Structure 1
Amino acid sequence: MSATKRGEYMPLHLVRERLVPQLTEARVNRVTLTGGEPFMHEDLIEVAAAFHDAGMDVGVCTNATIVTDEQIAAFREMGAHMNVSLDGFSADSHGVFRGRPEGFEETVETVKRFAHVGILQGLLCTPNNLAEGEEYARLCAFAREQGAKYVLMNPLGEMGRGAAKGAQKLRQPDEHMRHIAELTLPFADEGLEVVHIRFPNEDKPLAGCEAGTIIYVFTKGEVTVCPYLVFAARTRVSQHPDTDFIVGNVWEHDDIAARLDAYRFHERWTVGDNPTCGGCAMNASCGKGCPAAVVASGQRIGAVDSELCPVVPKQSRVLPVVGVS
């Protein structure tokens, strides 16, 4: 869930009075606080404690640049875990990518502080062309040294941060992404889980969609079965409105648990509902990829996830027809 977003904050009293009770009713047992930057929320510890006191495990995704020792102690006390964004392993890559070259050293030092008290869980990485390929091997080595459980690598795309102005200029080309995978996969044999999300794929069946398994609550209260589907629906070429994937608003509706139970993404939408998937030899073993990527490419859910499908060429973006008269 997003606790902060561009100067907007989830009010503490609403978290306690409306959000926590409704997520409890929806049988949520783990919550991750995201942003924006969660540590900009003046009541972050109290927000996290509200979930913890309700019996939920608490995690935070952070850039780790403004974290105090008192906050670290509080999160350690409640058994929370930290996931830290680290998008290269130098000030010239991670720091510039994040807009603050000095932020690299701040992030590295805070990762060490998290690790020292046993609350570091993983590093979250967005490969970009500001970094040399070897930096990602150094990043994985650093994660292993600090006792992180995993490094998750997710390249820039058409959704989320990838949809921001100019972001596509920073995307690594496919050949570089393959090189990054080759450099970082060996760390998986050394006790570190290395997760490559939407890296180039030449021959493997695609993963399936988990929409509805991991829900997301936006700062303004919208509850979605998948944030990436909402981000994708808000791109210029989308044929889906974002309301296709939003079940309600936790600040306005009192029946969020019932709405989530009734949504059933895979009964509403059929992924891979096209002749190519139907006639493919991998059909039975293929999860058909990411519906959000399909939506972001200008297709309806059911079309081929052509960005990663190994049996079809990558398709050009479908541009919408716009009437002006």
Structure 2
Amino acid sequence: MIPISLMVRGFGSVSFRIKGKEKSKFSSRERPVIAWNITGMCNVRCKHCYISAPMNKELDKETALRLIEEMGEIRIPLVILTGGEPFLRKDLLEIVEKLREKDVKVAISTNGTLINEEIAGKLANKVEYVGVSLDSSNEDWHDEFRGVKGAFREALKGIRNLISAGIPTGLRMTLTRLNVDSVPSYIDLALSLGVSRVVFYHLSATGRAKELADWYMTKDQYFRFMDYIIEIAKTVDMEIETTMAPFDGIYVAYKIAKDKQEFRKLLNFVRSDGIVSIYPDGEVHPNQFMDFISLGNVRKEKLSEILGRGFHVELNGPKCSKCPFKSWCNGGDRARAFYFSGIDGDDPQCFLDVETIGNLLYDRGEE
């Protein structure tokens, strides 16, 4: 995550609630944030679904409870329950309760369509945050992208139910060349709903998204988007973040830093906390989108053993390998690189002039 609002003016809402305001590291390779896809079942059919849901797989209850015990022992700081659609798992609320008993913070990532007043009430004071996927301020566009008519209206109902229950709630928008220019109206919708946060996901290339090769933002669209959210983050009391594009943080630092010292300080926001993903079948991946790399399977091994292996890619692409910021950015989204040029290649969505921006480092090429 690149915390645009935090970088621009030190503003945080959800991030402060989850991580606190201290600068100590929230997570690490040994105790990462975990995105746990607790089910492969889903009630929508998104064009870009990274696990190609529905997939008829999920950990049985006994294995899930054992995994939660292990998470508590490792002192995992945060688990993001996702899917598929997590609210289709019948024991979701029990999983939330068991995680809380182990002092693990819980967030939920959902399409929002199944959250009625009763469910929202049961979640109150039990989760740190719920992120709801909404990919446009235009109802028809969202429904087409999500593959189900009426998904937009049901998601809005879910959002309002969550906010009424006092649960910190945010929106998650996947950016494509077909919807990125509507971001200003999307921000207006977010403000009217009263959400705490908006996270913009750069389109990755895993699952069904492999079929969307011509949906990526153009260079001009990218810079218009970035310049807009930098400016809007200066004025709105709503947290704005981006993800799946750590180079966004380099650009933000370049645009707002007053001098080299401030620029280097802002680069600290680019380095990400540790995160791994557990898929419905128990496979552990370096993140939600790197389905082509398995670190192990929680059905067969202890989570602590799997996390101890770690993961690293040596960047060999013509741009990433020579980039002065590669130790901060780590080459952007390795899933996009993998499907377009190879695991060690360049991320095709990085449009930065790193040679020019690199002049703000004290020593050119410093890592």
What is the deviation of 1:149?
3.0
- Aligned 8 A contact 2:107 2:128 in 1: yes
Check 1:70–1:280 CA distance in 2 against 1; reply closer, same or farther (3 A cut): closer
SS of the aligned residue for 2:135 comes to coil
Task: From 279, 303, 317, give the equivalent of 1:218.
Answer: 279
Question: What residue in structure 2 maps to residue 78 of structure 1?
Answer: 126
Q: Does 1:2 align with 2:37?
A: yes
Question: What residue in structure 2 maps to residue 11 of structure 1?
Answer: 60
Distance in 1 (CA, whole Å) between partners of 2:348 and 2:203 is: 16
Question: What residue in structure 1 maps to residue 174 of structure 2?
Answer: 126
1:148-197 residue CA offsets vs partner (Å, 9 max, x unmatched): 3321112333224522x4x3454454434444444444331212232244
- Aligned 8 A contact 2:133 2:172 in 1: yes
Single out whichever of 292-301 and 23-32 deviates more from structure 2. 292-301
Task: From 337, 344, 352, give the equivalent of 1:310.
Answer: 352
1:263-288 residue CA offsets vs partner (Å, 9 max, x unmatched): 2324xx33x35675565565677643
Task: From 281, 298, 306, give the equivalent of 1:259.
Answer: 306
1:60-113 residue CA offsets vs partner (Å, 9 max, x unmatched): 111111123221111104244210000001221111211223111111122112
Question: What residue in structure 1 maps to residue 163 of structure 2?
Answer: 115
Give the residue type in structure 2 aligned to 1:32.
Answer: I
SS of the aligned residue for 2:69 comes to helix
- Aligned 8 A contact 1:123 1:152 in 2: yes
- Aligned 8 A contact 1:141 1:187 in 2: no
1:238-294 residue CA offsets vs partner (Å, 9 max, x unmatched): xxxx3xxx22211122x3203312x2324xx33x35675565565677643333332
**Residues 53-72 of structure 1 aligned to structure 2 (within 5 Å):** 53-72=101-120
Give the residue type in structure 1 aligned to 2:102.
Answer: A
Distance in 2 (CA, whole Å) between partners of 1:227 and 1:150 is: 20
Tell me the C-alpha RMSD between the 2 structures. Answer: 3.3
Task: From 49, 54, 61, give the equivalent of 2:97.
Answer: 49
Question: Which structure 1 segments of 5+ residues have no match?
Answer: 234-241, 313-325
Larger relative contact order, structure 1 or 2 (CA cutoff 8 Å, min sep 6):
2
What is the deviation of 1:124?
0.6
Q: State the percentage of identical aligned residues.
A: 23
Distance in 2 (CA, whole Å) between partners of 1:209 and 1:45 is: 33
Q: Does 1:175 align with 2:251?
A: no
Distance in 1 (CA, whole Å) between partners of 2:100 and 2:351 is: 41
Q: Does 1:191 align with 2:237?
A: yes
Distance in 2 (CA, whole Å) between partners of 1:125 and 1:85 is: 6
- Aligned 8 A contact 1:208 1:288 in 2: no
What is the deviation of 1:35?
0.7
Give the residue type in structure 2 aligned to 1:14.
Answer: T
Distance in 1 (CA, whole Å) between partners of 2:317 and 2:179 is: 38
Q: Does 1:227 align with 2:288?
A: yes
Give the residue type in structure 2 aligned to 1:220.
Answer: D
Question: What residue in structure 2 maps to residue 294 of structure 1?
Answer: 337
Distance in 2 (CA, whole Å) between partners of 1:177 and 1:199 is: 13
Which TM-score applies when normalising by structure 1?
A: 0.76
Task: From 138, 145, 149, give the equivalent of 2:196.
Answer: 149
Question: What residue in structure 2 maps to residue 25 of structure 1?
Answer: 73
Distance in 1 (CA, whole Å) between partners of 2:194 and 2:98 is: 28
Give the residue type in structure 1 aligned to 2:197.
Answer: Y
What is the deviation of 1:300?
3.9
Check 1:99–1:129 CA distance in 2 against 1; reply closer, same or farther (3 A cut): farther
Give the residue type in structure 2 aligned to 1:13.
Answer: E
Check 1:40–1:122 CA distance in 2 against 1; reply closer, same or farther (3 A cut): same
Give the residue type in structure 1 aligned to 2:170.
Answer: G
